[in-house]
Amino acid sequence: MRSKFTWIMTLLMALTINFSFAQEKVVSGTVSDATGPLPSANVFVKGTQRGVQTDLDGKYSIKVNVGETLEFTYVGFEPQSRVVGAQNSYDVVLAEGQILDVVQKDVYRRTTEKKSVMAVAGISAEAIEDRANASVLQNLQGQIAGLNIGTGSGQPGADSTIILRGVGTINGNVEPLFIIDGVPVDEDGFRSINQNDIASVQVYKDAAATSIYGNRGANGVIVISTKRGGYDEKMEFRYTSQYGYSELQPLNMELMSSNELLNFQKRVGVGYGAALSDTEIDLVSRQNNTYWSDIFFRKGVTKSHNLAITTGSKNTNNFTSLGYFEQDGIFKSTNFKRFSVRNNFSGKSEDGKFNYSFNFSGNFSRSNGMNGAGSNQIYFAPFRAALHGLPYLNPYAPDGSVTTDGGIAPGDISGITVDKAPYVLLNSVDMNTNVNDEIKILTSFAADWNFAKNLTAGFQMGVDFSGTRALQILHPNSILGPFQVNGTNETEYGGSQQEATSRDFRFNSVTRLNYNNTFGDHTIDATAFVEYNKAHLDGINFTQLGLDSRLVGTGAAFIPGTTLHTDGTQPYIPTVGSTKVSEGLFSYFGNFDYDYKGRYGVSATVRRDASFRFIDDNKWGTFWSVGGRWNIDQEEFFSKRFPQTELKLRASYGTSGNQRINNAQYSALNRTRNLYGQGATYNGSVGTVATQIGNTDLRWEQTAQSNIGVDFGFWNNKLSGSVDVYRKRTTDLFQPTPISPINGTSTLDTNIGSLENKGVEVSLKYNVFRNQDWTIVLNANTSYNKNFIRDLPESYDGIVFSNGSTSLIEGSSVETFYVVRYAGVNPANGNALFYTADGGLTETIDDSDRVNTGKSSYPAWQGGFGTLVKYKGFEFSTQWSYFADLYRNNLDYGELEETSVIDDGSNRVASTATAWQNPGDITSVPRVGNPYGAVDYINSTDRYLEDASFLRLRNVLFGYSFSKEILQDLPISGLRLYVQGENLLTFSSYRGWDAEAGFRSTDRGNYPTPKIYTFGAVINF
């Protein structure tokens, strides 16, 4: 059978050759460098899109016509070419040398790294695709200088906060603009995007890079490209799969055991332990010593499957991928699932003058989550219960399983006491529903047409659609169910169901006309653009109180609103809501690039933008930038003296605007107008009230940024990298300015004040060693950013203090802690002591004693480093990340060390036992019954203000790629296996589960991020 098949194939080949006019044939050979074969080197047929890569032994084979030229390239090596003649084999030895120029392409421009005047940093697919995080953004942490990524929740798929080069606004959007394949997308929707589809991520930092994004570029731009097929490529399948586990990180604090807690309670005479004898305490603590984290948290499973198919013919190519990802959260009953499908199609005309592409990505994700992170409502705060639960409570039901109600009957008022909160939460976890579904469709079309000599017209449009549904059901038979209708347990039916669905449709189109020409040594590239953006959000929501417990799940369970309660009220009437809002932007702009011999280059952009948010003269904003470069290595005087060195100097200055003056999308939609609304009711009548005071003078926030950078490569790029220094000033900050409460409100958002970020970024890559078998590479990046407020509204007198722990202070960073300094405990009476502003001591927390601590919840230092070691088929890599000089209020610890009240149903940390007892005691924990509770310490003092710096082993991977020889008898062309882990090690003094918290200023009962271990396989066939 087999031999027959081969024979037929041979015959077909023969026929094909006979019909071919050109002398096409297959040539093969080996690509190597001085030390041995180079795997994955590129072999292209010049002037075509045909190309192959060498295998692990550096071997290639490719179909060519006699007379065509083969080009051999490999990153870090000088390219070579061979004209195909009679020979059927071409072996090439590449010499180390120039880095192959990497293409930088965003929505508007396409250039190369060498000719770029911009500060851009990128990472490729390899750095992210093997990772096991549900959201691709989490994988970027520590990999790009200046890019801060903070994830404040361990819920799989949780959104991260991304800040580039420091916080550039107080109330506006702080996150960069995200572009996927040319389409601006919602920065919060990344959980639905399959990271296996991503080919590269590039971060645009300076004004030369971002000014062209005018209205949305002030916080930087992150450009994501997805994978595509190549022309004339044979069909290839790539299957990847992962399986693994996630678990809780260790808790960096010492909780009391049953014995310790009961003895402490006995000593202070409050709580359960107070009334027990020593024998009873012994007995109780021998019976139960529960570590509630073990009960609430678990080991979760992660699995993923991806199949990608690429193919290409002469004028079309295609990339198709299917993905499935599933990850259990480490907290009981939380998980995440995603199904995704993508197709990227490209086509061109015969003469190559018309190119077009169409991308479609459809995704569905479902997140079963847990509300109540950070909540102060203890019966609704699951993570707090896991940390605070009393150790002497028994977590098990009589049959030995974990209890789901702790013996508390639904609606039993006397049974629900603060100490029983863990039972209530276990019950909620078991019975209630909290689902967030998202359908995400990203689709785009782009075409360009070289319709006349040097002139190209282009058009692209894209759609980002998100359909979401959030469903929360509080089961009527849960412990808290009977209270849901009117706050008592007296209604006949209990429980509640809240549901919200929304559709978010964002449309973007860019039309452009480009002129490009080279006159001798001069190259000019000029483009004019028109851009249109429109976004629509609509949604409906309802809350139904009162469910029939037999039918929970859909409207079938809803008790009719007309049903009467025994007291004559109609408590089951649902509340409903409906929203519909729109946003829009319109812009025209131009870009001009000039290059001389690849030695000097200038790039300039000017842009006019209109935002629907502003009126009259403030509607249009003008933003511009200029950038220049000097490729010093292209100068003869330099290249002669330093032949193996690359050096480029860049400088840029420019402005960009922020019209998203309030952080959330679809907010601050009409702040220029006075508005009224109905809804305030009195005695059953509906009233009309003022809902907004307009500010007609509202305008763009503007950021002006200057940047100087150097890109370098020494010793044939054995050591390469870049250094950038920048200064970014935001003016006309949108922030609440106090207005007299005689206006009916006490603040009004106005454009006032300015802030500045300045810093240094360094990225380095060092190819330590490379030979036939070995590759050793080190990379590191670090950034320092100083953020400070330059001006605040005059009336504030240099400080905006509004009762929290952080304030805005001129000369200090955003979110600077402005609190009273804790001085310890007065040995005489056990009260807490505080420093007054002038250094004296007081027992009263007084706002006038607050001082600027100079500490902020945003880090000054951020960076990462990694290693890559390869030996034959083996690879071992590590990726570390760190944040330094950031602080956070540890309310968890504060509550666990609470001595103001004792019988609050919460466990304590061991240090609480050192609380002051007798005059003369020297301790740091105030007497039992002192007037200040944990929240007071958090809001007003630095007692629990902790250094949240950390160094974390973000990722470690060990893998093996099987060689061609081993696989030759198998129907596959490549096989790679690996094990990898996320967050395996963390070094931090922060007392809690997780030092990382998404730049929150206060931590209370949050969902910690997990450790994840996975085993993965990549199969090509």
Partner 1 sequence: MKKILRISLLAAFIGMMSCEDATDIIQESELSEELAFQTVDDLRGGLIGVYAVYSPDAGGNGSGDQILFNDLFTDNLKRGISSSGQGNQTYNFILQPGSNFPTTLWNSRYAVINFSNRVLRAWDRVYPTLETEAERDDANEIKAQLLAFRGFCHFELIQYFATNYQDLTAPGVIVMDFVPEVDQVFPRNTVGEVFQQIESDLTQAAQLMGTEFNSLGEYTTVAEESKFYINPDVITAMRARVKLFEGNYTEAYTLANSLLQNENYGLSGYVELGSLYESDNLAAKELIFALSRRQGDNTITSLWSANGAGVNGSPFFEISNGLLNILPSSDVRRFIILNTDNEIVGLNSPNNILPQGKYLGATEDGAMLNDVKVFRAAEMVLIRAEAQARLGNLNAAATDIKALRDIRVATNNGGNTPLPSYANLNAALTDILLERRKEFALEGHRYLDLKRIGTEIGVGINRESVDCASFGADCDLAPTSYKFTLPIPNSEISANPTIAQNPGY
Which of 502, 563, 665, 670 touches partner 1 (CB under 8 A)? 670
Q: Is 842 in the site for partner 1 (CB under 8 A)?
A: no
Pick 659 or 782: Cβ nearer partner 1: 659
Nearest distance in Å: CB 569, partner 1: 5
Which of 3, 277, 401, 683 touches partner 1 (CB under 8 A)? 683
Q: Is 594 in the site for partner 1 (CB under 8 A)?
A: no
Write the secondary structure of 816-835 as one string of H (helix), E (strand) and C (coil). EEEEECEEEECCCCCCEEEE
Cα(499)–Cα(513) distance, rounded to whole angstroms? 47
Cα(383)–Cα(379) distance, rounded to whole angstroms? 11
Q: Is 725 in the site for partner 1 (CB under 8 A)?
A: no
Q: Is 616 in the site for partner 1 (CB under 8 A)?
A: no
Nearest distance in Å: CB 16, partner 1: 38
SS3 (DSSP) at 532:
strand
Report the relative pairing of strands 841-842 and 747-751 from DSSP bridges. unpaired
CB atoms within 10 A of CB 329: 26
Nearest distance in Å: CB 354, partner 1: 11
Residues 6 or more apart in contact with residue 122 via CB below 8 angstroms: 102, 104, 144, 200, 201, 202, 203
Which of 900, 912, 1006, 1014 touches partner 1 (CB under 8 A)? 900
Burial of 72: CB neighbours in 10 Å, binned 0-12, 13-18, 19+: buried
Token duo for residue 512:
């452009």
Residues 6 or more apart in contact with residue 380 via CB below 8 angstroms: 371, 372, 428
Which of 844, 874, 970, 972 touches partner 1 (CB under 8 A)? 844
Count, residues in the chain: 1021
Q: Is 743 in the site for partner 1 (CB under 8 A)?
A: yes
Question: For residues 760-819, which are near partner 1 according to CB under 8 A?
Answer: 795-796, 800-803
CA 11 to chain centre: 55
Which of 931, 970, 987, 989 touches partner 1 (CB under 8 A)? 931
Which of 834, 932, 944, 1013 touches partner 1 (CB under 8 A)? 932
SS3 (DSSP) at 272:
helix
SS3 (DSSP) at 427:
helix
Nearest distance in Å: CB 812, partner 1: 18
Residue type (1 letter), 373:
A
Nearest distance in Å: CB 583, partner 1: 7
Report the relative pairing of strands 198-204 and 120-124 from DSSP bridges. antiparallel
Which of 398, 400, 487, 520 touches partner 1 (CB under 8 A)? 487
Helical (H) or strand (E) element with 678: strand 675-682
Q: Is 37 in the site for partner 1 (CB under 8 A)?
A: no
Q: Is 534 in the site for partner 1 (CB under 8 A)?
A: yes
DSSP 192: G
Which of 100, 307, 418, 760 touches partner 1 (CB under 8 A)? 418
Q: What is the Rg, in whole angstroms, of the alpha carbon atoms belonging to the chain?
A: 32
Contact call for residues 940 and 1002 (beta carbons, < 8 A) = no
Which of 171, 315, 488, 665 touches partner 1 (CB under 8 A)? 488
Q: Is 674 in the site for partner 1 (CB under 8 A)?
A: yes
SS3 (DSSP) at 334:
coil
Size of the site for partner 1 (CB under 8 A): 89
CB atoms within 10 A of CB 565: 17
Helix axis angle for 278-287 and 258-268, nearest 10°, is 150
Q: Is 12 in the site for partner 1 (CB under 8 A)?
A: no
* Contacts with partner 1, 49-78, as mask; x by CB under 8 A: ------------------------------
Question: For residues 492-511, which are near partner 1 according to CB under 8 A?
Answer: 509, 511
Question: For residues 544-583, which are near partner 1 according to CB under 8 A?
Answer: 567-569, 571, 579-583
Token duo for residue 332:
């009981």
The residue written with tokens 């920065």 in the block is 187
Nearest distance in Å: CB 933, partner 1: 4
Q: Is 937 in the site for partner 1 (CB under 8 A)?
A: no
The residue written with tokens 């998202």 in the block is 438
Report the relative pairing of strands 177-180 and 600-611 from DSSP bridges. unpaired
Pick 166 or 495: Cβ nearer partner 1: 495
Q: Is 459 in the site for partner 1 (CB under 8 A)?
A: yes
Q: Is 530 in the site for partner 1 (CB under 8 A)?
A: yes
Which of 748, 768, 776, 869 touches partner 1 (CB under 8 A)? 748
Torsion angle, alpha carbons of 793, 798, 800, 801, to 10: -150
Q: Which stretch binds partner 1 (CB under 8 A): 319-327, 757-765, 899-907, 962-970?
A: 899-907
Pick 791 or 875: Cβ nearer partner 1: 791
Which of 745, 771, 829, 917 touches partner 1 (CB under 8 A)? 745
Q: Is 739 in the site for partner 1 (CB under 8 A)?
A: yes
Which of 178, 483, 880, 1007 touches partner 1 (CB under 8 A)? 483
Pick 287 or 582: Cβ nearer partner 1: 582
Question: For residues 296-355, which are near partner 1 according to CB under 8 A?
Answer: none
Q: Is 949 in the site for partner 1 (CB under 8 A)?
A: no
